[in-house]
Amino acid sequence: MVEKYGDATTMRAAEVPDPRVGPDDVLVKIHAAGVNPLDIRIRNGDFKLFMPYRLPLLLGNDLAGTVVRVGPSVTRFTVGDEVYARPGKERIGTFAEILAVHHDDLAAKPATLTMTEAASLPLVALTAWQALVERAHVQPGQKVLIHAGAGGLGSITVQLAKALGAHVATTVSTANVDLAKELGADEVIDYRTQDFATLLDGYDVVLDSLGGENLAKSLRVLKPGGTAISVAGPPDPDFARALGVNPVLRLAMTVLSFKTRRQAKRLGVTYSFLFMKASGDQLRELTPLIDTGKIRPVIDRVFPFDQTLQAMEYVEKGRAKAGKVVVAMT
């Protein structure tokens, strides 16, 4: 539980009351929860201006578990169903034994996965889908560059891009070159010894998860009309409008992204900031790709529930070598 925004010292384990189950909610007994860099950023207060949470706050943005109760308006799920989800941003808190989730955010767990494997997927799989399918409309034969292709997000996005028929390039460390190839990457750039910006050109889409200079260089590998989508770069005016923030914050986001958008315009490409959203429907679109083996989870390490704080520290200090970190409740 986060008692105030700040570093790891602001967190503690705590007993909290059982959640209220609304008419459209599903009460889920959580078997496993994914750990994401987003959890650390929320704890640090990075989003408090435009996504304020009431403190104290339970963290956790991925879950897999079993339905134990459904609200009176819920028809899709019944007690005993195995499910997975990324709860809506206002309903996070999967580092817990039980959570009420809106039924629109839930989907049946892929039959081929364990609870631990399923818990690693929702946030990153939805981010990949919303970047490549919903926003970039990736088509067979297009060229897609995915940064950090061995990471939690990158490892899933590489596989989705291949499933969509794209030619995929990715950047990884030396130790993860073979993994990136196993995941389906056509071109693997070892960022420790190679500069992707001098090796790649004419790309239709880039997914950037690093921001800064990496994003600036990514714009230059796109062909005219190409799109750079970033989950780490500066928020843009479209994001501000979608979020419905006040005019002052909207202006601040416009200013923050001005340099990046100006560079993109000069190059004849588009810059887009992505903050993923919960969607049970999109998880259902992804599930067949998972059950047929076109997308497989990549898990770095599993921590027991009583070591959730250690799991977050492990992620925060960059100790994960490839894929996701998961907390197992059972």
Domains belonging to the chain, first-starting first, are 8-121+297-328 (3.90.180.10), 123-273 (3.40.50.720)
Determine the pLDDT at residue 70: 98
pLDDT at 330: 78
pLDDT of residue 241: 86
Please, where are the H alpha helices in the chain? 37-44, 115-119, 122-129, 152-163, 177-183, 196-199, 212-220, 237-243, 247-256, 258-267, 280-291, 308-316
- pLDDT value for 214: 97
* 139 burial level (CB within 10 Å; 0-12, 13-18, 19+): exposed
> What are the average pLDDT values for consecutive 10-residue runs of the chain, which has 330 residues?
89 87 98 97 88 89 98 98 96 97 98 98 98 98 98 98 98 97 98 97 97 97 98 90 85 92 97 96 98 98 97 96 95
Residue 300 is predicted with a pLDDT of 98
- pLDDT at position 85, please? 98
Give pLDDT, residue 47: 84
| pLDDT on residue 168 | 98
pLDDT in tens, 21-74: 999 999 999 999 999 999 999 999 988 877 778 889 999 999 999 999 999 999
Bridge partners (DSSP) listed for residue 187: 169
The pLDDT of residue 52 is 77
- pLDDT score of 14: 84
